[in-house]
Structures are given as structure tokens and as C-alpha cells.
Structure 1
Amino acid sequence: MAKRNRKKKSGASPVEIEDVASEYERLEQQRNDFLDRARENAKLTIPSLFPPEGSTSASVRHKPYQSIGAHGVNTLTSKLLMTVLPVDAPVFRYSVSDEAVEDLANDPEQRARVEEQLNQVERTVQEEIESIGIRAGLAEALKHLIVGGNVLLYLPKDGNLKMYRLDRYVVQRDFEGNLLRVIIKETVAKETLSPSVRALIEAPIELPSDEAQDQAKESEVDVYTVFKRDGDSIVSYQTIKNIVLPRSKGRWPIKKSPVMPLRWNIIHGEDYGRSYIDEYYGDLAAADSLSKSLRAAAAAAAKVNPMVNPTGLTRANDVAEAGDLEVISGRAEDVTMLQLNKHADMQVAQAVLQDLIQRLSHAFMMNRSVQRDGERVTAEEIRAMISDIDDVLGGIYSLLAIELQYPLVVRVIDRMERKKMIPKLSSIKGADGKPVTTPKVVTGVEALGRGHDFNKYMTALREVIVPLGEQALGEINVSDFIKRAFVSLSIDPDGLLKSAQQKSSENEQNAESQQQAAMQEMLQSAVKGAAPPAAKAMVEGMVANGQPPE
């Protein structure tokens, strides 16, 4: 779209003009090479991920001749989703700074209370992540990462997570990979726009007559959403026909940016990443070609064509028209079957194909399984899976923890704090009423640390406390130990542990019960001792009044 010099007519409301469409077209030229590779990769795996340019829902999709690519992408996506967003383990955890740990070390009850508050916030955030449909969007995004190497995630201030494939956005970074600009292009129907927006973009503007007629007839418009860096913040706005929509502006700190342009492999100096399929494109292409050849050869070998000697006594029409068990005249020597005699060649092709499938199965982790079937996934199993993924994929989990997990969790926490669904971390206070140093969000392998803490507590209980018995119990705070063990398992101890008032009330009840039992025992002894009737009556009266007999 060429730049246009628009002039407002007198009396028209002022509008802000910015030629985002031209900037998008300029950045689009730098993106096309990566998009073309993504489409080629999709042809060998899942063609629907990156359809050809200009295709519609009715267009015929490319059909690969093998399914190892699609199977591998789905398997790898499942394993990555299990590690990036585990079901029965925390996505993140709060880690208190060293300064706060020193301040809380002298007060075990205060430290347990702070840990309990942080764990409660963690559970609330985890429930919010599950409720806003992040898991479904993330599964689709991981497929795009594996096949295309790039994908954009957008988590607005309200609503669910949105995913944009590579042909829907452009990105610009500096040499170190820091985000400078993201532009999203969406085509929407005019009827879906609000009346105020339609009035703004349809305001009379001096344009050539041909362009004015074209704009009057169009039923769809392109909406550009811009996110660009401004110092230590990310500013955003939307434009339609280069007119900036007045209510679309926003500003966020860089660490709380709502957009997350993800990359599979980072190449310094490039705005986009490289995909995992790029590394195994040769094996996938060879497997697809061999599968096509073997399929054609198998179809040819399965074809049945009798051949009749033209100089023999057997007639070809009789053979062609004969039914089952029908008697025809002729000689067996006149009839033979057409054979390819390519069995040895097909075995060579089959052996090469099996070798390719074995290599691809290893690359896509299709022959590896750490999780037990039908059981709850433990943190240790997730650690083993993460280690396996990092060994095979070259540290991709560490990159996803930095570029995906951390920004996503921080963004969700920021949304929840703005809606007052959780308290701000700076508002968490200790027993003395002073705020605790703001905790930091920990993701990746370190986020599984609470489960590791529980293992430490159980080891201490099994190896130290139990062998020492009463001596160890006299040295530790049992209540604080139980609270920490519950927190390490992400269990809310509220209501599970007895309060001081409940324990005091129970102690009083136990004392009264013991006193009543002692009085009853003394009464029975007096009866057995054949005490005089007067003494028995006195004892019974004292027991009834709750007074111990002398």
C-alpha cells in the first residue's frame, strides 16, 4: 500500500495518521524467506499449519506420502507441553530473596506464615492459568514453533490467550535479540466494528475518485495492532487505513508485555528463529520420496494381469470373461502372470526407509517414555523428561523457560493483580507487620523446587528425627515442620492444623475426662471395699458435685 497524503476537510474532527501499512510491507519482505521455509516444512508434517498464500478453507491441501512427520510433531508437542505446563506440578514458584531469608530465619513461625501466603498465591495463579484456556493455545503454538520456528502469543488484559501464526505478524529486533516492534495484521468485516470506529474511518477525506469508490465498496478492512518499545516500556495502538484508533493505546513495562514473539532456535542478528524441522528436513524429504516410490511399486506389484500366448490354443477373451469355476478350453502353458521382479530393489528401499524412520523417531522422541501409564506424574518424572528433552533438543527447554514460561507467568500475575484477584507481592507482610522483600518468580527446572523441598523434609524425618526419637522432637518445632511439608506439596494447611485455641480447649476437655475417670475409679474401689453406707453416700455425692474425695 503506497503512502498517501491525506488532508482533513474543514470542520472534520482531528485524527492521528501513521502509515503502519507501509512499515508492515517493508518488514514483510524480511519475513517471507522464513515463511516460505515454514510452508515447505509443513508439507512434510502438518500442511494445515501453514497453508499456501491465498488459500481458503475450500482449497485442496498438500498430502504427504508418510505420517512420520505429523506423528513426530504431535509427540514432541505433547512432551514439551507436559514440561512447559505440567498438570500436577507447579508452572512456577516464588523464591524469597537472600535478604528476606536472613530476616525470617530468626522467626520460624513468621517464615512459615510467609511461605504459606506465597503458596496460596501460587495455587490461585495456577488455577487462573488453567481457567483461561492457556493449555490449548500453547499446544497449537508449540506445533508452530516446531514446524515454522516462530509464533506470536498475545494475552490481552481480558480474555483468553491468542496465537498468531507467522503469516499474520512481523517482528523487528536489535542485534542482541531485544524486541523493538511487533505488528499484527488482521482482516475483519466492517460490520464487526463499532459505530464510532466506522464513522472515523469513513470520514470524508480528499482521495482520488478511483480510490474513494474502491473504499466505498470494500466490505473488509485491515486492522494493524502495533507494539513497539519506548524506553523501558512497550506502547501499543491500533490503526485502520492508517488512522490511529483513539481508545486503543496502552503502555506496559517491558517485563509485563502482553505480546510474546517466540523462537525455536535463536540466530544472533536475525529477527526470526529457525525451526526444528529445518534440522531434519533432509530425512523427512527422503522418507516422503521413498514412501511415494514404495507405494507406487507396491500398487504395481499388486496389479494382476494374465498374459495369453497369442499363438497358443487358449483364447484371451475366454480367460478375461471366465467366472469362478467356469470351464474353458485351452492349455495352462499358454497363460502366465505379469511379474515385476523388483522384490530385491524394493527391499533395499524399504531398508533405507526403516533407517530414516528410526533416526526420525529418535529425533522426535517417539521411542522414549518417562511418565508411567495411568499414574500421577511426579516432579521427579518431569525432571527426567526435561533432562531428556534438553539432551535431544539441545537446551530448548531452557530457552522456552526464558522466552515463554517466565513472560507468560508474569503477565498472568500482572492481570490478576490489576483485577485484585491476588494481593501484590509487596503487600505480603510478616508477623511484625513489616512488608517482606518482594519475592521473585522462578520458572523452569527451579520451579519444581517445592517437590524437591518435600523430599528433603522426608529425608530429614526418616534419617534424623525418627532415629533420635524424643530427643529430636524436643529440639524442633513440630508445627512449623508440618506446615513447611504441606507448603512443599502445595497443600493449603488452613483448617488442617489445629489452632492454639482448639488445642487449649481440647486439653481442658482431656483434663476433665481424666478427672472424671479417676473419681469413677475411686468410687468403684470404695464399693468393693464394703465401706459403710454413709461413706458410700458421701463419695457418690462428691463425685456428683465434681469434688475429689479425700
Structure 2
Amino acid sequence: MAAKATPQEGAETTYKRLENDRNPYTKRAEDCAVLTIPSLFPKDSDTGSTNYTTPYQSVGARGVNNLASKLMLAMFPPNEAFFRYQMAQEQEAQVASGDGAKTKIDEDLAAMEKVVLKFFEGSGHRVTLFEGIKQLVDAGNVLFYWTLEGLKLYRLNRYVVERDGMGNVLTIVARDRYSKASLPPELLKASKLDDDATSATPVDVYTHVYWDGENWQSYQEIGGEAVAGTESTYPKGKSPWIPVRLSKIDGEHYGRSFVEEYYGDLLSLENLSKSIVQMAMIASKVVWLVNPNGITQVRRLNKATNGSYVAGREEDIKPVQLQKFNDMQVAKGTADGIEARLSYAFMLNSAVQRSGERVTAEEIRYVARELEDTLGGVYSILTQELQLPYIRVTTANLMTSKALPDLPDGLVEPTVITGVDALGRGYDLNKLVQFIQTLESLGEVAWSRLKIGNVISRIGMSLGLDVSELVMSDEEFAAAQQAQQAAAATGQAAEQAVTQAAQQQIPQTA
């Protein structure tokens, strides 16, 4: 874990000190947004009334939206678990030898997963996470603040972060700008605004989060003074503040964006697209040149109706032509080549989901595999800095609110399944199918030693189904077997009685 960070200075002072190190990253993020989606990363001085210049090409915007959508689909698939709960290794070893005990524990953990997934789908966090993934693609950095009411997002120009040499977070300072009318009562009292301040007077509130060596500490500050009553302490792994990078650069506090890697192609395509559009507009303008010494009268041509005859010579009037066709073809060919490269990089050429139908598990698996091939190690860092911290803080807060059983720390740990295995328990189903097929090839001896009840339960968990109401328990199965045997015995006795009675009625013959 990160080394101890003691707040030797206030939140606002820390923010301004670390702001100088952050400014180059925000400048690059603004430049990348200009070529993709300008409103995605506005300048700090921009407001809702700011008019942004629309790029001449749409490849950047389409690429950001497409890549963010595919990352969201692979990392947080709808109605599919992107994580699983697992017991600690020591506890798992203790129950592994128990008959069916491990299966029962897995069923309980699967039930906990369903509670978390139900909260996730109903909390609205998915919307904010998608917005955050777009920030990662375009700006490379984003900060989330987790609450039961919703997930709050901070763009890079609204927070600073400090990391140690291993990349572990030491300090986070987030800046919120409120109006006087929207300030909470405790913050309004601490703001010490003048009585003549209007309701629209802006107030900057700084939230300082730092690691003290054992826990995360946080407090809020206004005007250089800490606000009493805003102090909070979070155990390791349970902080609601989640800073995320798209890529890890050793020795840097912030990451780099995906768009930044292709900034040269995007800038070239923007300039070429602008030139082509402007030249096309010039070429589409129709202007006629008239020979002043010719016999054709322009006035008669203008007044002539459709299909009428006018005296004149064709060579007296000619349209203006640019004679730049070959030059424009060179520009268009270059632009097409750049667009093809960008389309491949942003995965615009891959269409896997069928229109008008639901997304299947195989389609999600295809997207995950393609992202793994295209983005390489992006999955690894997003797992460590986004998925895993998110599910840990969600679990901790749901335990606090009694939505989940309050388990001791270290007993159960969430595990994120990444890459092709990001389909949750569907990967286990493939293993189970292969296992059963292998047993079949070994013959009846191996098949007879299979605990079929546990296999059925695990298949149901892999499919995300609650099999408790579908499959008989061991006791129910034993009772059903006894009832079947008793019915068979009763039927056999009745058949024998009927046979004996029939035999008695047959007359004896000599």
C-alpha cells in the first residue's frame, strides 16, 4: 500500500500546488476534445452557453462513442455479473472436503452477487460510468465519488491527485463550485459570505482525501479553513473516492488518453476534411463568363423560358472551372487512408451486435476478445483502478445498509473477471461442459462417481439461475425414490394378486 501522507498544508493550498503538474494533461485533454467531442472536456471557464466549434470530420466523435460503448459492454455487461465473490484461501480449504458444503457456500455468494447487481442496475451508476469511460478515452483520467444516491464524476480539470513511485494514490483534492443558493447549510455557515452576496455568488469547496498509513481521511475546506463536521475515515479498500487512469506511465501522477495516441492522424484528417469541404463549396459555386465582344446577349438568356430559342454562340458563355480535380483527388485519397487507420484503431469497422435483437453472450464474448486484442493492457489497469474498487466500496456500503450480510473483513473477497472471461460465470459453464464430456469418455466407472446434485447446482449458478425451486434437494430426491419404489412394489403386488385370482377361476381339467 502507499506510504503515509500527512497533510502538512490545507486542501486549497495542496490543490494549487498540484495544479501546475496537472495543467499539461488538461491542455492535452482539451486539444483531444476539439477533434472528437468538444463538449466532452470543456475549459474551466466554459459555461452552458458556450458555443463549441464543430469538427469538420466525425470520425473522432464516432470513435470515442463506439470505443466507450464497447468498453462499457465488456466491463459492465447488462444483467451479467462482471465479478464474483470468493472465499479466502484458508476458509475455502477448510470447507473443501465437506460434502456439498462448498456448493452451498457458492450458492450463498451467488445470491449476494444478485443483490449487488440489482443495486447496480437500479442505482443509475451505469450512466455515470459510461460518461466516465468516455472521459478516459478522451482525457485519460477521471475521478468517481460513490454514494448510495448516485455516482458523482469529476473531470480532470476539477481534481488533482498525487501518487507514489509505485502508482499508489497518496492524496486527492477535488474542487466543487457551488452557488450560494445551492450550498448545504453547514457549508453555507462556514463560507462566511457577506450579507450582500447574491444567490448566484460562486463558492469553491475543496475536499481533501489522503492516506495516513492505516486509513483514508477526508475533510472539506472553504476559504482556506476546514469545515467542522465534514471529517470522515474510510478503511483500506473502502474509500468512495475512485481515481482512474486509462494507462499507467511510471513516474507520472496521471494517465494518458487513447485519443492522444492517435492525435496526429486526427489532426491531419481534420485539416484535410476542412480543406476538402471548403474546396467542394468553392467548386459547387456556378459562375458564367461572358465574352464582352460576343453576339450572345445575356439579357435574352436570363429572360428566356424553358425550351425557348435564343440567338447566340456557345463559345460566348462558359462556366468557370477550377481545374483542381487531380489535386482534390490527392487530398481525398490521403484523407481516406487516414480515416481507414482511425476506423481500425477505434473499432468502427467491427459490427457484431445484430440490429433489433438482444445482445447475446457470444456477442459480448466477441467484443471482449476484440477489445483485448486492440487495447492490450487497458483491461488490467481498469480492473485494478475501476472495477475492483467500485465493487469493494459497493459491497461495504451495502453491508452497512444491511442489504448484504455483514461479513468479517477478509472472509470474502470480490474477484473481477477480465478479458474474454469478463462474462462472469459463463466461463465456468464452459469448464463444466468440458469436464462432463471428459468423464463420459472415461466410461461408466468415472461417471458413476460424479456427484450429480452438485453438478446441477453449479450449472445453474454458471447460467445465473436460482435452481432451488427447479431441482430437488437430496432429501426430496431420496423421498421421491422411496415413493417410486413403493409404488412399483404396490403395483407388482397388485399384478400378482390379479394373476392368482385369475388362475383360481380357471376350471381344473383332467
Distance in 2, matches of 1:55 and 1:99, equals 55
Change in Cα spacing, 1:426 to 1:85, as seen in structure 2 (3 Å) is: same
Could you tell me which residue of structure 2 aligns to residue 286 of structure 1?
268
Alignment partner for residue 175 of structure 2, among 185, 188, 193?
185
Do structure 1's residue 132 and structure 2's residue 115 form an aligned pair? no
What letter corresponds to residue 310 of structure 1 in structure 2? P
- 1:306-345 alignment, distance < 5 Å: 306-345=288-327
- Provide the residue aligned with 2:425 in structure 1: 450
Q: Deviations over 1:346-403 (max 9, x none)?
A: 111111011000110111111234556635532x654553343233223111111111
Cα shift at 1:248? 1.7
Identify the match of residue 230 of structure 1 among 207, 212, 229: 212
Structure 1 residues 145 and 193, CA, compared in 2 at 3 Å: closer, same or farther? Answer: same
Which amino acid letter does the alignment assign opposite residue 62 of structure 2?
A: H
Residue aligning to 1:241? 223
Taking the aligned partners of 1:349 and 1:143, their CA distance within structure 2 comes to 31
How big is the shift at 1:308?
1.3
How far off its partner does 1:138 sit?
1.1
In the other structure, the counterpart of 2:339 is 357
Give per-residue Cα distances to partners, 1:33-83, cap 9 Å, x unaligned. Answer: 211111111111001111234222222111100000001111111111112
Moved more, 508-517 or 91-100: 508-517
Q: Does residue 96 in structure 1 map to residue 87 in structure 2?
A: yes
After TM superposition, the score normalised by the length of structure 2 is 0.89
Report what 1:77 is aligned to.
68
Q: How do 1:415-454 residues align onto structure 2 when only pairs under 5 Å count?
A: 415-426=397-408, 438-445=411-418, 448=423, 450-454=425-429
Other-structure match for 1:434: none
Residue identity opposite 2:154 in structure 1:
Y
On the 8 A contact 1:361/1:367 being kept in 2, the answer is yes
User: What amino acid does structure 2 have at the position aligned with 1:96?
Assistant: M
2:248 touches 2:381 (CA, 8 Å); kept in 1? no
- Please give the alpha-carbon distance, in whole angstroms, between the structure 2 residues aligned to 1:77 and 1:218: 35
Aligned residue for 1:513?
A: 487
Match of 1:119 in 2: 110
1:320–1:34 distance in 2 versus 1, CA, 3 Å: farther
**Structure 1 vs Structure 2: percent identity of aligned residues?**
35
> Shift of residue 213 of structure 1?
7.8
**Residue 275 (str. 1) matches residue 250 (str. 2):** no
2:462 alignment counterpart? 488
The residue identity in structure 1 corresponding to 2:95 is L
Partner Cα separation in structure 1 for residue 348 and residue 198 of structure 2 = 55
Where does residue 397 of structure 1 map in the other structure? 379
Aligned-partner Cα distance in 2 for 1:170–1:386: 31
Q: Residues 169 and 336 of structure 1: is their aligned pair in 2 closer, same or farther, counting only changes over 3 Å? A: same
Correspondent of 1:465 among 430, 440, 460: 440
Equivalent position to 2:36, from 45, 48, 52: 45
Match of 1:543 in 2: none
- Whether 1:63 aligns to 2:57 is no
Calculate the aligned-residue CA RMSD, in Å: 2.7
> Match for residue 199 of structure 1?
189
**Alpha-carbon distance between aligned partners in 2 of 1:416 and 1:289, rounded to the nearest angstrom:** 51
Q: Residue 29 of structure 1: which of 20, 25, 29 is its match? A: 20
Q: Indicate the larger mover: 381-390 or 126-135.
A: 381-390
Question: Are the counterparts in 1 of residues 398 and 404 from structure 2 also a CA contact under 8 Å?
Answer: yes
For residue 108 of structure 1, give the secondary structure of its aligned residue in structure 2: coil
Q: Is the 8 A contact 2:80 2:424 kept in 1?
A: no
Q: Matched residue of 1:237: which SS?
A: strand
Mark the CA change 1:452 to 1:56 in structure 2 (over 3 Å): closer, same or farther. closer
1:339 to partner: Cα distance: 1.0
Whether the 8 Å contact between 2:22 and 2:160 is mirrored in structure 1 is yes
What residue is the counterpart of 1:107 in the other structure? 98
Aligned position for 1:299: 281
Q: Does 1:168 align with 2:142?
A: no
**Alpha-carbon spacing, 1:321–1:237, altered in 2? closer, same or farther (3 Å):** farther
Q: CA separation in 2, counterparts of 1:75 and 1:464?
A: 43
Matched residues in 2 for 1:528 and 1:188: separation? 98
Distance 1:316 1:26, change over 3 A: farther
CA deviation map 1:128-156 (0-9, x unaligned): 22221221111111111111111111102
Shift of 1:440: 2.8
Amino acid at match of 1:304: V
Contact kept, 8 Å, 2:162 with 2:172, in 1: the verdict is: yes
CA distance in 2, matches of 1:449, 1:489: 9
Q: SS of 1:170's equivalent?
A: strand
Residues 44 and 502 of structure 1, relative CA distance in 2, 3 Å threshold:
same
Structure 2: which amino acid aligns with 1:450?
Answer: R
Choose which of 382, 392, 396 in structure 2 pairs with 1:414: 396
Q: What runs of 5+ residues in structure 1 fail to find an aligned partner?
A: 1-17, 204-211, 428-436, 534-550
- Does 2:69 correspond to 1:86? no
Structure exhibiting the larger radius of gyration computed from Cα positions = 1
Task: Please give the secondary structure, in 1, of the residue aligned with 2:487.
Answer: helix
User: Which of these residues, 350, 360, 364, is aligned with residue 377 of structure 1?
Assistant: 360
Aligned-partner Cα distance in 2 for 1:462–1:19: 64
Distance 1:222 1:214, change over 3 A: farther
Partner Cα distance (1:20, 1:98) in 2: 41
Q: Aligned ranges for residues 3-18 of structure 1 at < 5 Å? A: none
SS at the partner of 1:256?
coil
Closer, same or farther in 2 for the Cα pair 1:247/1:335, shift >3 Å?
same
22-31 or 223-232: which moved more? 22-31
* Superposition deviation, residue 285 in structure 1: 0.7
Decide whether aligned partners of structure 1 residues 322 and 509 sit closer, same or farther in structure 2, where only a CA change above 3 A counts: same
Q: Residue 374 of structure 2: SS of its match in structure 1? A: helix
Count the aligned residue pairs: 496
Classify the secondary structure of the residue corresponding to 2:149: coil
For residues 332-352 of structure 1, what are the alpha-carbon distances to aligned partners after superposition, in whole Å with 9 as ceiling and x for unaligned?
Answer: 221111111111111111110
Contact 2:179/2:199, CA 8 A, preserved across alignment: no
Instruction: Judge conservation of contact 2:211–2:217 (CA < 8 Å) in 1.
Output: yes
Change (3 A) 1:482 1:289: same
